[in-house]
Amino acid sequence: MLFARPLAELIAELEKLPGVGPKSAQRLAYHLLRVPEHEANSLASAIRNAKQRLRFCAQCQNISEAELCEICRDGRRDRSTIAIVAEPRDIAALERVHEYRGAYHVLHGLLNPMEGVGPEQLRVKELLTRLGDGEVHEVILATNPTIEGDATALYLAKLLKPIGIKVTRLAHGMPIGGELDYADSATLLSALEYRREM
């Protein structure tokens, strides 16, 4: 056996993380063995706390510690506009722009038939429930300008327009195939300002 069993188990767990290959998993494992015990323990407990204390916001499906996330609890936000994003980290990207004052809805993925991701796998049902009360006037489809992002936007536009809601899409000031997460604030701001109706 190449590694003592606990080390082999640690490497195996680290290798499951996105972007971590066998080599980096080994490097991280040896690093964790070298750090003081309290440091390793605080990493372990941060992971445990995050898993135990976080859930999805009952309204927008963002990651939250309470039943409703901070954005949904904020009375100053404009609830008549909802930006639909693929992942919680996209909310952080749009919040960095500081211009958007509406609400959000997180789909937790994008349509991808090849990978078996259909509308049932996304938080579409929750979105429709939310739109049912008639308070929302505009939905901004803020999915990435990728094949999956565009397909998801098109699907939602067809679904939502008959309900009588204004459906807009972020302008393609965004780099094609680019990700919200990586776009700078100025680009995102103009993508938001020049959004077009679908």
CB of residue 59 to Zn ion, shortest distance in Å: 5
Whole-angstrom distance, CA of residue 111 vs CA of residue 154: 10
CB of residue 56 to Zn ion, shortest distance in Å: 8
Whole-angstrom distance, CA of residue 52 vs CA of residue 124: 25
Stretch that binds Zn ion, among 53-61, 130-138, 161-169, 174-182 (CB under 5 A): 53-61
CB of residue 108 to Zn ion, shortest distance in Å: 13
Number of residues that bind Zn ion (CB under 5 A): 6
CB of residue 113 to Zn ion, shortest distance in Å: 28
The single residue among 25, 69, 82, 191 that binds Zn ion, judged by CB under 5 A, is 69
The single residue among 60, 86, 107, 160 that binds Zn ion, judged by CB under 5 A, is 60
The single residue among 72, 84, 131, 180 that binds Zn ion, judged by CB under 5 A, is 72
Q: Does 62 bind Zn ion (CB under 5 A)?
A: yes
| Secondary structure (DSSP) of the chain | --S-HHHHHHHHHHHTSTT--HHHHHHHHHHHHHS-HHHHHHHHHHHHHHHHH-EE-TTT--EESSSS-HHHH-TTSEEEEEEEESSHHHHHHHHTTS---EEEEE-SS--BGGGTB-GGGTTHHHHHHHHTTS---EEEE---SSHHHHHHHHHHHHHHGGGT-EEEE--TTSPTT--GGGS-HHHHHHHHHT-EE-
The single residue among 14, 25, 57, 192 that binds Zn ion, judged by CB under 5 A, is 57
132 vs 175, which CB is nearer to Zn ion?
A: 132
CB of residue 93 to Zn ion, shortest distance in Å: 16
Q: Does 59 bind Zn ion (CB under 5 A)?
A: yes
By the criterion CB under 5 A, which residues form the site for Zn ion? 57, 59-60, 62, 69, 72
